[in-house]
Amino acid sequence: LALIVLINLIGFIIPAILFFLGFALFLGYRKYLIAVCFAVVVPVVIFFIFDRGLGVLLPTCPWSIM
C-alpha cells in the first residue's frame, strides 16, 4: 500500500529503489553494496524499458527532468 501511495506522489523510480532495497534486506541479503546497486539499477532499467522501449508512461517525479 505504501509503495502505491509513494508511486502516485513521487513517481516510480524512488519508491521502487526503496522497495527493492528493503525487500533484499528483509530477506536477509547482507552484501549491502550489491543490494544497493541492484536496487538502483533494476528500477531504472524497468523505467526505461517501459518508457522508451514500450512507450508506456510510468509516473515520474513532479521535478523530473526525464
**pLDDT tens for residues 41-62?**
999 999 999 989 899 888 877 7
**What one-character DSSP code corresponds to residue 12?**
S
* Start-to-end C-alpha separation, the chain: 26
CB 12 within 8 A of CB 43: yes
pTM to 2 decimals? 0.80
Tens of pLDDT along 17-46? 999 999 999 999 889 999 999 999 999 999
